[in-house]
């Protein structure tokens, strides 16, 4: 069964700092990859997705992610965070079956 690992449970940083969240998955075949964000009390929003093509994907709100197939990784980055980026971030993988598998999530707290 496929699994998704997010390395950091809770990340705390100051405004303007750079952010990188790790995501690794276990499936060996072709995958679709997603990052979702959930602001406090709100629903899941898609930040970005990778299906094929350029492994560097740009999403909304200044986020980007890089797919490295050899490392089974899809790390999320943002060069300069804002207080409003405080949220829960979920990596998710679809390996071709019905199931979108989520990582455990990373709580990001940005201090003003």
Partner 1 sequence: DTEVTQTPKHLVMGMTNKKSLKCEQHMGHRAMYWYKQKAKKPPELMFVYSYEKLSINESVPSRFSPECPNSSLLNLHLHALQPEDSALYLCASSQGQGRGYGYTFGSGTRLTVV
Cα–Cα dist 45/47, whole Å: 6
Q: How far is the CB of 54 from partner 1 (least distance, A)?
A: 17
Among 35, 105, 108, 110, interactor with partner 1 by CB under 8 A: 105
Q: Does 61 bind partner 1 (CB under 8 A)?
A: no
C-beta of 71 vs 99, nearer to partner 1: 99
- Among 81, 79, 80, 73, smallest CA distance to 35 is for 73
C-beta of 61 vs 80, nearer to partner 1: 61
The DSSP output letter for 27 is -
| Distant-in-sequence, close-in-space partners of 28: CB < 8 Å, separation ≥ 6 | none
Q: How far is the CB of 41 from partner 1 (least distance, A)?
A: 9
Which string of DSSP letters, residue by residue, matches 41-63? T--EEEEEEE-SS-SEEE-GGG-
Residues binding partner 1: number (CB under 8 A):
26
Query: What residue ranges bind partner 1 (CB under 8 A)?
Result: 30-32, 34, 36, 42-46, 49, 51, 88, 90, 94-100, 102-105, 107
């Amino acid at each position: 069964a496929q699994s998704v690992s997010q390395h950091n449970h809770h990340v705390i940083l100051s405004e303007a700092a750079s952010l990188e969240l790790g995501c690794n998955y276990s499936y060996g075949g072709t995958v679709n990859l997603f990052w979702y964000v959930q602001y406090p009390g709100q629903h899941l929003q898609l930040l970005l997705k990778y299906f094929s093509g350029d492994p560097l994907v740009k999403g909304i709100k200044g986020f980007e992610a890089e797919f490295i197939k050899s490392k089974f990784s899809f790390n999320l980055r943002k060069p300069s965070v804002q207080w409003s980026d405080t949220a829960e971030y979920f990596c998710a993988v679809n390996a071709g079956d019905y199931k979108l598998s989520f990582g455990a999530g990373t709580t990001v707290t940005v201090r003003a």
